[in-house]
Structure 1
């Protein structure tokens, strides 16, 4: 049975890998995918699932060369947006070029397997530089990151998007301290969260019953600052690769009302990523 999504629904978190003959992986990549995941495969999946808009997040396997992501945006102009990986000393001219190409933010990884993290003071200096573009920070890290960087996140000069429900451990329950830290951060109006990655935080596996209450609580509490994505093609995933149709079907569990799904999939991405602002 096909899950019906609202018109203009957005997959706000996914990646493209290669093809490596055209877009080589970085020489110092923290990981190299076993198989490529080119833009054509992403387009076909999103089209089949009814996800007409998309945010492609540059992957660490391609490093600071954002060409592969830019190519994915160019194939679906106006409907696809990008999140870059950049050094903090990136020239102004490159920021403006990427903005014109459809990029809307920069991601920084604070996961141990993705290499040494960038000092947060350098990240905030860069954020002040790209604030005039209307860009945001996207932070990906384990629960300790939320506690360690909470003050910096709260004082950031741009919106901050926290990936994958903060990578909390669903087996520890809704009352765990890590989830409380995330909730307190979301009391700040500039902090957003992606209710993607339920498959990553689950200790039980599909259909991720232990993880759904976390995503559902965030949608209920912060409905104007939540985003959803399927995280295709699920890099560095432990356990079975998630079923894409199941992840989409579970949106009805995460956002049980039509109004909640409209905000999660359409209104919120439209606001943050500025779809169609080229017109």
Structure 2
């Protein structure tokens, strides 16, 4: 059975990064290393995510997909002014959606003419939209996205930041807004949730709440390799083993790694 790592990045320390990047890597994360990790863990496919430090220049990711077109697809970052033709060209190169990484940015105004045109183009292409944002942003954005027939993928458990925050109003409201027909949640980046002493427990509690919401068929896993800004403490092996600690049931592990992800990414 095919199985998928739905969240990884590739880059080189010598690549051209945007001037406004909040973080830039000083090491290489080549696609060959990612493929080696997939092979070692019996994963057949991977999804590359455009990192924020490249802005809207997706060339590094596109080059990596060209090297392994049968095994990789990508999620791009693009300007909202991108035309349907430009987006279609990306689709031909293995791109299946766009990412909004909103940390450090204001909440976008999705009700403007530009955004409406852009989101309609995503609908036409049958793309997904991936949201990396704190719960208070998600609470604002999810209702506005309901009018579009898009798969909405939410990164890293919805980025709840502490155990008390799980029961807080923003995360609870986020959970209420989730719809099993259109929302997908990544069981990924547990180490980005709160302090290191509690982040695995946060992930376990968040996972239990997502299951209670009936979303077991919409949960997918990503390694978040190469774990940018956490390189010294996290490895692919640790990220993969963490999944088994968060999701103890082997049938649920299989759904998350295989059937759920295959349905979303259509390999």
- Shared fold per TM-score greater than 0.5: yes
Q: 2:65 matched to 1:80?
A: no
Does 2:184 align with 1:154?
Answer: no
Within 1, Cα distance between the matches of 2:249 and 2:108? 39
Closer, same or farther in 2 for the Cα pair 1:123/1:266, shift >3 Å? farther
**Which residue does the alignment assign to 2:216?**
223
Q: Which moved more, 1:253-262 or 1:132-141?
A: 253-262
Q: What's 1:62 paired with?
A: 54
2:228 is aligned to: 235
Q: Where does residue 4 of structure 1 map in the other structure?
A: none
Tell me which of 192, 209, 223 is aligned to 2:184.
192
Aligned with residue 109 of structure 2, among 119, 130, 146: 119
- Deviation per CA, 1:105-157: give whole Å up to 9, x if none: 00012101xx5554323444312112122101111111221222232133333
Q: Is the 8 A contact 1:203 1:210 kept in 2?
A: no
- Select between 55-64 and 184-193 the one with higher mean Cα deviation: 184-193
Aligned residue among 168, 171, 175 for 1:176: 168
Structure 2: which 5+ runs fail to align?
A: none
What's the secondary structure of 1:107's corresponding residue? Answer: strand
Separation of aligned partners in 1, 2:83 and 2:142: 28
- Measure, in 1, the Cα distance between the counterparts of 2:189 and 2:137: 17
In the alignment of these two chains, the number of paired residues is 264
**Residues 1:16 and 2:6 are matched in the alignment:** no
Cα gap change, 1:184/1:125 in structure 2, threshold over 3 Å: closer, same or farther?
farther
* Structural mapping, 1:2-13, within 5 Å: 7-13=1-7
Distance 1:269 1:95 in 2: 23
Mapped to 1, the partners of 2:45 and 2:244 lie a distance apart of 19
**Structure 1 residues 124 and 57 mapped into 2: Cα distance closer, same or farther (>3 Å)?**
farther
Question: Is 2:135–2:170's contact at 8 Å kept on the other side of the alignment?
Answer: yes
What's the TM-score once normalised by structure 1's chain length? 0.85
Indicate how the Cα distance of structure 1 residues 125 and 255 shifts in structure 2: closer, same or farther if over 3 A, else same: farther
How has the CA–CA distance of structure 1 residues 240 and 59 changed in structure 2, closer, same or farther, with 3 Å as cutoff? same
What's the offset of the Cα at 1:103? 0.8
Query: Runs in 1 of length 4+ with deviation above 6 angstroms?
Result: none
